[in-house]
Amino acid sequence: MTPELSPEQTPLSLSPDLLAAIRAIAATEHLLVAMDFDGTMAPLVDHAGDARSLPRSAAAFAALTELPRTTTALISGRALDSLRAVAFPPEKTLLIGSHGAEVWMGPGSAELELDDDRRALLAEVRRELEGIVDVAPGTLLEDKPAGVVLHTRLAADAVAADAVAAARAVLQDRPGVFLKSGNRVLETSVIHASKGEGIAFLRQAAGATATIFAGDDTTDEDALARLLPGDVGVKVGLDFTQAQFRIEAPVHVAELLEALLRERKRALGV
């Protein structure tokens, strides 16, 4: 019989159904704990370089990393260099960057290399987006190894909408260019990849028998769609989702991870 939590341990923002799912998944043979970063581990901010994990979330995530038969991973739209710069991931944490285009499985992992054709195509994409940013105040570009991101968070709503529409008009039918809409961003890439492919790869690589994933953005739906029976998917925020469970904000991710840590330690007897 599982001991009841004391009142001070009970995560008030987590539903009883989610707590029950956490308790069940914590008993799996090998657990994969995969988290989105921006909007999940860290609150959304205007400037990408200012993002940081909330301290309680970071502490619980790091503690999970050290448990036996438990693999942690971050799956982000950020390039790996950007993700490392703001997330400070534990040494053993696996990393998926650029929506699945970049993968880090530990020391010796190969870096993403583009062939000449893709490098030339990426340069064309950037030139098109530069022309849009030049006439759309508050928008800016972010370079990634396989793509360019159009950020519109600092732009007026009408300007942002026009910039995204213009970018889609010139790029959506271009062969070899792939577009993804996110939270005030339009992602372009010359490699077809998704967080869904990323989480499937991580599950296989880790030998996971169950996976828990939490994310807030449209692109996280790709990962949520690839979860299997017995896995746990959590949507952070109030947008549409196919996840079984929902929490309101990154501050509640700390409660989620702390509950998972507590139940996983109990299941492992550590």
Residue 215, SS3 per DSSP? strand
Specify the long-range contacts of residues 113-121, CB closer than 8 Å, at least 24 apart. Answer: 114/145, 114/146, 114/190, 114/191, 117/176, 118/146, 118/176, 118/190, 118/191, 121/174, 121/176, 121/177, 121/190
Say how far apart CA 222 and CA 233 lie, in whole Å.
Answer: 11
Structure tokens at 84: 């490392």
| Cβ pair 120, 102 in contact under 8 A | no
Give, in order, the Cα–Cα distances in Å from 47 to each of 74, 86, 138, 143, 157.
20, 11, 12, 14, 17
Question: pTM (2 decimals)?
Answer: 0.85
pLDDT at residue number 2: 38
pLDDT tens for residues 95-106? 999 999 999 998
Say how far apart CA 6 and CA 9 lie, in whole Å.
Answer: 5
pLDDT tens for residues 212-221? 999 999 999 9
User: Alpha-carbon torsion 165, 170, 173, 176, what sign?
Assistant: negative
pLDDT at residue number 260: 98
Domain borders along the chain are: 16-101+193-268, 116-189
The Cβ-side half-sphere exposure at 57, using a 13 Å CA radius, reads: 26
What does the DSSP 8-state code read for residue 209? S
Say how far apart CA 78 and CA 149 lie, in whole Å.
Answer: 10
CATH topology of domain 16-101+193-268: Rossmann fold (3.40.50)
pLDDT at residue number 12: 62
The per-residue DSSP string of 51-110 comes to: ----HHHHHHHHHHHTSTTEEEEEE-SS-HHHHHHHH---TT-EEEEGGGTEEE-STTPP
The Cβ-side half-sphere exposure at 211, using a 13 Å CA radius, reads: 28
pLDDT tens for residues 138-152? 999 999 999 999 999
Superfamily in which the 116-189 domain is placed by CATH = Trehalose-6-phosphate phosphatase related protein; domain 2 (3.30.70.1020)
| Cβ pair 101, 143 in contact under 8 A | no
The CA-CA-CA angle for residues 216, 92, 104, to 5°, reads 70
pLDDT at residue number 10: 52
> Does the structure show a pLDDT above 50 at 265?
yes
